[in-house]
Chain A
């Protein structure tokens, strides 16, 4: 059974750096999946932060790109999120998730789809 667990400080000072780690058990981050971060401010909806692939390739939300860095530690089967220059607007529950990729062939071209099938329980980070 695949499980993901977020860890990191629950309180970060304004202008500081938010650092979270997601530990994966039951799967290898070296597999062909994307490893993602999603956040949810209090009382609001989900926001995609970004993702990292086994090669270290990353995709980030354009609204956060200048402040976000993601990395992998294959020896520990973990991936991490760093968000710098934080403000109160970064206060949220942060989730890590595994995103799988699938494909369909319609006879003429390939279509790709992605889905987050395993999520961590989330960790609350307050900027104050």
Chain B
């Protein structure tokens, strides 16, 4: 199992706010990165350095961290936000190494 734990599935009503969490000891010391993946597509970077959005990512996506938990919040979820979300960070015991969370499937109702 991964050092980073995510809820397997989360759902949100269209236009509402949803928080996707990632929990693990690496997050006490290292930044979280978030990726969105839609079926049949490569992952897409949506948040890095805990709360920085790349160019082109809507501002409804935001990130935060508290203790050993990182969160990705989508404020006003849209139908196109449906997909799988993965957190990534550095390994807690060997920080040269990277580790992904197990992923969260987001359904927009």
> Using Cβ atoms and an 8 Å threshold, which residues of chain B touch A48?
88, 97-100
Q: Is A67 among interface residues, defined by CB-CB distance under 8 A?
A: no
**Per-residue B-contact encoding for A113-128, CB less than 8 Å = 1, 0 else:** 1111101111000000
CB-based contact A115/B42 at 8 Å: no
Q: From DSSP, what is the main secondary structure of chain A's interface residues?
A: strand
Interface size class of B (residues with CB under 8 A): 20 to 34
How many contacting A-B pairs (Cβ < 8 A)? 70
| Number of A residues with CB within 8 Å of any CB on chain B | 26
Contact A45 B103 (CB under 8 A): yes
Inter-chain contact A113/B48, CB cutoff 8 Å: yes
B43 and A113: CB pair below 8 A? no
A62-B97, A95-B43 known; A115+B102 contact, CB < 8 A: no
Cα-based distance from A111 to B52 in the complex (angstroms): 15
Asked if B42 and A120 make an inter-chain contact with CB atoms under 8 angstroms apart, the answer reads: yes
A73 to chain B, nearest CB (A): 22
CA–CA, A62 and B103, complex, Å: 20
Q: Is the CB of A115 within 8 A of B97?
A: no
Set of chain B residues within 8 Å of A120, measured between Cβ atoms: 42
B48 near A115 (CB under 8 angstroms)? Answer: yes
Give Cα A61 to B30, complex, Å. Answer: 18
Nearest-Cβ distance from residue A35 to partner chain B, whole angstroms: 13
